[in-house]
Amino acid sequence: MTVPSFLGSILEWLRVGYPEGVPDADYVPLLALLNRRLSDDEVQSVVDALIANGQVPADAAGIAVVITKVTNEMPREEDISRVRSKLAAGGWPSADPFTI
Q: Which tens digits make up the pLDDT trace of 1-42?
A: 576 676 677 778 778 888 888 888 887 777 666 667 888 888
* Burial class, 85, CB count within 10 angstroms (exposed 0-12 / middle 13-18 / buried 19+): middle
Same-domain pairing of 25 and 57: no
Domain total for the chain? Answer: 2
On whether residue 80 sits in a domain, the answer given is: yes
What average pLDDT does the chain have? 83
Same-domain pairing of 48 and 8: no
The range of the structural domain enclosing residue 6 comes to 1-34
Same-domain pairing of 21 and 4: yes
Same-domain pairing of 22 and 63: no
- Other residues' Cβ atoms within 10 Å of the Cβ of residue 51: 14
